[in-house]
Structure 1
């Protein structure tokens, strides 16, 4: 028997889930990480039966249908309907089975598109969402609110939500058709190095700012929160509390990879929001900060890329 009990992890095959499973803190739990064939979260009856049978001490909900802007825009029905179903089914299954601790992972896409930076947790539902990922955001808001409503009706139920900033790391997606910013940069600069190219193009002027945290650090925060769930607020950002420009990310990746070419800028390309930075006051008050520096995080991700993706 593990010292912390049994943890049911949804989304164990995704980037966040796999980083949780390989983190040293995971050894303190007996972790159940069922594949979708064993637990289809879109099937309410199956989800109810699974949770009632396993009786976990805590559920950590990381599962979801995820993707970049193009996928969100092309499949808004799936991003809204499937993610809503998964969130609702696992939260209610846990609640009906008497599971007293539930850790829900949300997303900064829940924040209004025009909210001022840094983003504080009380800004959610105070303005219009970003249209390109509205369906996904609505599903995450529903799950977050459902956890809050359960807490409102039953204060002893520790149903809480973490809101991570942008993530990258081991087990990421590097295919340019599906990847997000940092894995895409790693792939792009590596390809330039292999081709002997002296230039890499950046979309826009590179001054837009983004907050990217190493996925292994999120895993550390999630497992610490699972151990100390009564000590965290109902809703809490998990991030760095500072950001970097797109140009900074390109330069750091080039330094890590050892590519010494130059960057050009295509000012006709879209760049998205100028900034999306989390306020980490609640996280700091809890006593946690992300331990991995940007160069170290990129180096670890690049090592994974060389071993798993580039090969």
Structure 2
């Protein structure tokens, strides 16, 4: 018998797919409607879905996502769509009497000049990074809405996980709209297959990023589901260490076996110089990410070869 009914928004995306693929998922009745079944930007449709399906727990992982290029090209959509989705899901759950909701946020909520490691209490203490400001504002709104609901209702377990950058199975691998690591995998694999001896890196490659294997985030989500009361109101989920962009390119090249050289386009935007999460709350909660960088890259590359490579 299932432990309960759990709704995952964004169940077809990278995060949602990895949550559904986790071993613990089989113990639950999972609801994961795709956009054709449920338009999360339609408040009335979301309200009706909650009434009809009566989930016990919600994991909110849906949203319009993308890298620097996509955020810069479509700032209106990244702000407006994500605000609508966050508001509709969270308020729909509240109105339907759902007691537990895990809201997945993003480290882009932190001030662009925030001191690393980024501590949860520093959100809203400084200017946001302009290249993804709209997305960040929408994520801050959803986090604060959960905070306000808890403040009004002591029984409401509406809490926010703030993952560092992610990569892994079910990711997008098109450099035009993907995140950094899958884009690197695609670029280096293309160079390998075409015989190219150079791959271009945006900027000088010294900016530092923290990338966690997405199945590890899924593991943290399921731990939160099992004991939501012990979870802080907002908590980073990350590694506690980072690497330079150049290091990620080098690691992918090593895994794939490409022997070429990298060039740098210094005219391109690179975003924040460093985004490293504090894992103090996460450590106190009793969890750490188990997968090493090269193991995660190798498994992600295998997924790419099986599902995307031509």
In the TM superposition, residue 77 of structure 1 has moved relative to its aligned partner by: 2.1
State the match for 1:81 in structure 2.
80
State the alpha-carbon separation in 2 of the partners of residues 15 and 187 from structure 1.
16
Alignment partner, residue 278 of structure 1: 277
Q: How far off its partner does 1:205 sit?
A: 2.6
Structure 2 equivalent of residue 6 of structure 1: 5
How many Å apart are 1:200 and its aligned residue? 2.5
Aligned to 1:300: 299
How far is the alpha carbon of 1:81 from its aligned partner?
A: 1.5
Partners of 1:281 and 1:59 lie apart in 2 by: 25
Q: Bigger CA drift: 259-268 or 224-233?
A: 259-268
Tell me the residue number matched to 2:203. 204
Range moving further from structure 2, 294-303 or 86-95: 86-95
Structure 1: distance between partners of 2:216 and 2:90? 25
SS at match of 1:254: helix
Q: What is the rounded CA distance, in whole Å, between the counterparts of 2:86 and 2:204 in structure 1? A: 38
Indicate whether 1:220 and 2:219 are aligned. Answer: yes
Q: Please list, as runs of the form range in 1=range in 2, the aligned pairs for 1:229-268 lying within 5 A after superposition.
A: 229-268=228-267
Q: 1:299 to 1:131 in 2, by over 3 A?
A: same
Structure 1: distance between partners of 2:145 and 2:21:
29
Q: What residue in structure 2 maps to residue 167 of structure 1?
A: 166
In the other structure, the counterpart of 1:179 is 178
1:49 and 2:44 aligned: no
Aligned position for 2:67: 68
180-189 or 66-75: which moved more?
66-75
Question: Aligned equivalents of 2:246 and 2:131: distance in 1?
Answer: 24
Q: How does 1:50-199 map to 2 (within 5 A)?
A: 50-199=49-198
RMSD (Å) for aligned C-alpha atoms = 1.3
Q: TM-score, normalised by structure 1?
A: 0.96
Moved over 6 A (4+): none
How many residues matched?
310
Q: Which moved more, 1:137-146 or 1:262-271?
A: 262-271
**Structure 1, gaps ≥5 residues long:** none
Q: Residue 189 of structure 1: CA displacement?
A: 1.2
Give 1:268 shift: 4.0
- C-alpha distance in 2 between matches for 1:186 and 1:78: 27
Q: Helix, strand or coil: the match of 2:275?
A: coil
Segments of 5+ residues of structure 2 without an aligned counterpart are: none
Change (3 A) 1:269 1:36: closer
Provide Cα deviations, 1:203-254, integer angstroms capped at 9, x if missing partner: 3332211100111111111111111111100000001110011121111111
Deviation of 1:66 (Å):
1.3
**Structure 2: distance between partners of 1:199 and 1:35:** 39
- Contact 2:131 2:271 (C-alpha < 8 Å) held by counterparts: no
TM-score (norm 2): 0.96
Q: Give me the whole-angstrom Cα distance separating, in 2, the residues matched to 1:57 and 1:5.
A: 6
In 2, distance between residues paired with 1:272 and 1:125? 18
